[in-house]
Amino acid sequence: MLDRLFRLSEHRSNTRTELLAGVTTFLTMAYIIFLQPAVLSGAIAGTPTGMDFGAVTTATCLAAALGCGLMAFLARYPIAQAPGMGENFFFVATVGAIAAAAQEGSIQLGTTQPWQLALGIVFVAGVLFIAVSLLGVQSKLLEAISPSMRHAIAVGIGLFIAFIGLRNAGLVVVAGGNLHLNPQFASPDLIVFFFGLLVTASLHALRVRGSIIWGILAATALAVALKLGLPWLPESISGSAVIKESKLMRDFFIADRLVAPPPPLGPTLLKMDLVKTLSFSMLHFTLPFILIFLFMDVFDTLGTLIGVSEQAGLIREGKLPRMKEALLSDAIGTTAGAALGTSTVTSFIESAAGVEQGGRTGLTALVVAVLFLL
């Protein structure tokens, strides 16, 4: 059944490989479950936006599951979707701009909260993206990109993923507007990073299936061991700044239970204010933001589709089959995500990790969708 539905044999894949690829992709992008609500609620910036942390968490998981499910069945590509990084920070910046404009008196919000207007902007951008996808404009954009540029996009995505890993691991730090190599190699963060990298690279060199998953699990096991063991070391070691100020000791927490009910969605569900977003008196303010969100989503998705599809060998004679369906999946995900209470849904470059593990069909995306629902 799965073979017929996703054409596994045609893509020289099998159920086991697709499951492995789906789990790999999910593990590399699962950070968005916790980071998205932290960004949208204003917890990271230190300025509350008024959005409920728990509701955004649930909305993020549901929007990601819907986007992945659509990609699985409509486009049948191994590309996962979720609320995107970059778009979420711009969403918060938009909320701030709305609040500032309301305070100055240049716009009148009434009882509408700034974040509700921002959700309305994202919703309208999503509807426009649906229209763009149905009109087939994206095919002209793809045809205008040369083969060398498509290869460059694939390489660039790989480098960007590597850079994200180096930044999150703390190996590369930003100081004074410049990038620097972190000299604190005794940091628990870097110890976990190098251990996970060594395990993953070694298994990959040995052509062990699931090398990325095994690397993630090995690094997680070491992180748990360090989290529990470091406080028992002498104060001269455990109390040092390099340990106390590490992300491992400061931000890494071990869950006290495996299963918990999801936070209620009510505080953000259908809270976007479309009437005010599209009102004539507000259109001069909201239209530029609508277009910015639209262009960000279109080109972000195009770049990821081209890069990951090139890596997977899915582009045929310069064309991507079912491209309309792929972009439509993204557009519907964005529109539904705004209705649920989260920012722009887009295709994730982390899908390249699943493709590296052999993912070639929509079954990979379906596995990611199921995992987001869990």
Q: For 11-41, how does the pLDDT look when each residue is reduced to its tens digit (9 = 90+)?
A: 788 889 999 999 999 998 988 998 899 889 9
Q: Domain residues for 9?
A: 2-164+264-373
pLDDT of residue 156: 73
In a domain, 212, yes or no: no
pLDDT of residue 139: 67
Name which residue leads in pLDDT, 132 or 367: 367
Percent of the chain with pLDDT over 70: 95
d(CA 327, CA 190): 38
In a domain, 347, yes or no: yes
pLDDT confidence bin for 265, thresholds 50/70/90: very high
**pLDDT > 80? residue 68:** yes
pLDDT of residue 157: 65
In a domain, 239, yes or no: no
Write out the DSSP string of 300-362: HHHHHHHHHHHHHT--BTTB-TTHHHHHHHHHHHHHHHHHHT---EEE-TTHHHHHHTT--SH
pLDDT of residue 119: 97
Token pair recorded at residue 18: 């697709």
pLDDT of residue 232: 82
The DSSP bridge partners found for residue 180 are 173
pLDDT of residue 130: 94
pLDDT of residue 25: 93
Q: Helix 211-229 crosses helix 188-205 at what angle (to 10 degrees)? A: 150
Q: Helix 53-70 crosses helix 362-373 at what angle (to 10 degrees)? A: 160
pLDDT of residue 231: 83
Residue 312: how many other CB atoms lie within 10 Å: 23
In a domain, 197, yes or no: no
Count of domains forming the chain: 1
pLDDT of residue 233: 78
pLDDT of residue 51: 95
- Give yes or no for a contact between 273 and 120, defined as CB atoms under 8 angstroms apart: yes
In a domain, 102, yes or no: yes
271-326, pLDDT tens digit by residue?
999 999 999 889 999 999 999 999 888 888 888 888 888 888 887 777 788 888 99
45-67, pLDDT tens digit by residue?
778 899 999 999 999 999 999 99
SS3 (DSSP) at 264: coil
pLDDT of residue 268: 96
pLDDT confidence bin for 253, thresholds 50/70/90: confident
**pLDDT > 70? residue 154:** no
Token pair recorded at residue 221: 């096991």
In a domain, 96, yes or no: yes
pLDDT of residue 150: 65
